[in-house]
Amino acid sequence: MCEPDMPTDAVFEPYVYDPSLLSRAQCMGDACAVCHTKWPRPRRVLGELPDGAHVYGCDECAGIIGLQPVTAGEPLMAAR
């Protein structure tokens, strides 16, 4: 039997973006939250705003920021 790649207790911890640091298009999901690309419209969910609305990004930026599941209880680290 095959073993799963991820632990069974892995959960996705959404990153909460500060809307004051994003443009209106980024807050509305019409532009990538990382590179501001508007076309093609970003489809990957990168996180959310404090009100629960999703923040989107392009596939390339999602890969760059290392969008991966985080194991529950494991600290989330980010570089700026």
Taking alpha carbons only, the member of 4, 1, 10 closest to residue 74 is 10
Considering the domain boundaries, does residue 38 fall inside one?
yes
- Report how far residue 45's alpha carbon sits from residue 69's, in angstroms, rounded to the nearest whole number: 13
Whether 16 maps to a domain, the answer reads yes
Question: What is the pTM for the complete model shown?
Answer: 0.64
- The model's confidence at residue 78, banded by pLDDT at 50, 70 and 90, is low
Residue 34's domain spans which residues?
A: 11-71
77 occurs within a structural domain: no
Domain assignment of residue 76, yes or no: no
Bond into 40 cis (ω within 30) = yes
Higher-confidence residue of 9 and 53: namely 53
Looking at the domain assignment, is residue 79 inside a domain?
no
- Is 17 part of any domain? yes
Residue 36 burial (C-beta neighbours within 10 Å; 0-12, 13-18, 19+): middle
Task: Let me know if residue 59 belongs to a domain.
Answer: yes
Domain annotation covers residue 36: yes
Tens digit of pLDDT for each residue in 13-71?
778 999 999 999 999 999 999 999 898 899 999 999 999 999 999 988 888 877 654 44
Domain count, the chain: 1
Cis peptide before 19 (omega within 30 of 0): no
- Per the structure block, which two tokens stand in for 43? 């489809």
